[in-house]
Amino acid sequence: MTDPMYSASVPVLKQMLGALAGVLDKTQTHATARNIDATVFLQARLAPDMFALARQVQIAVDFAKGISARLAGVEVPSWPDNPEAGFEDLQALIARALAHLDGLQPAQFTDAHSRQIVLRAGTPKERSMSGDHYLLHYGLPQFFFHVTTAYAIARHHGVEIGKRDYMGSY
């Protein structure tokens, strides 16, 4: 039987990253078909105080690799973010994250529910939590927020996408 922590993380992250890649593909196609500079979409935001589409994708990838690595008990891969990333760069980043996920084995997630995860999430103060709490109350909500926001930015700016695009293949 596959470890429940693996089942609740890696396949879900893969599904949503695949869907995000599809949304980016449709966004790029939309921009090209309408002769709109790709930067218009990559730098689009829902609100002035929110990150742009490109940064939303980068953060979603950061959460996917961080969640999976921490739960598997391996070092979180460190990949530099490119502030001027284009669609091809973002697709390559997603592909790299999917390859990372494919490299993890269910056996690595044994006891992940009770593994202590220590974070410094944007503050100088550390926060420690169990693996199951980390996955369900921090990691996945953060990941879904950024995937959803990227989807919403594309949709808001006229890209013809819907729920099936958001969900991807399951």
pLDDT at position 119 is 87
pLDDT for res 123: 64
- Flag residues of the chain having pLDDT under 70: 1, 121-123
Report the alpha-carbon distance of residue 13 to residue 8 in Å, rounded.
9
Alpha carbon distance 168, 170 (integer Å): 6
Q: Which residues, 6 or more positions from 5, have their beta carbon under 8 angstroms from its beta carbon? A: 71, 109, 112, 113, 131, 132, 135
Domain residue ranges in the chain:
4-167
Q: For tokens 């930015």, what's the residue?
A: 153
Looking at residue 3, what is its pLDDT?
86
Q: What is the dihedral of CA 152, 95, 73, 77, to 10 degrees?
A: -100
| pLDDT value at residue 153 | 98
Helical H runs in the chain? 4-7, 10-33, 38-42, 53-72, 87-102, 131-133, 140-156, 163-167
pLDDT of residue 121: 67
pLDDT for res 84: 84
User: Tokens in use for 81?
Assistant: 């973010």
Query: What homologous superfamily does CATH list for 4-167?
Result: dinb family like domain (1.20.120.450)
Per-residue pLDDT reduced to its tens digit, 131-160: 999 999 999 999 999 999 999 999 999 999
- C-alpha to C-alpha distance for 152 and 27, rounded to whole angstroms: 11
| Paired residues of 119 in beta bridges | 127
pTM of the model: 0.94
Q: What values do phi and psi take at 78, rounded to 5?
A: -110, 110
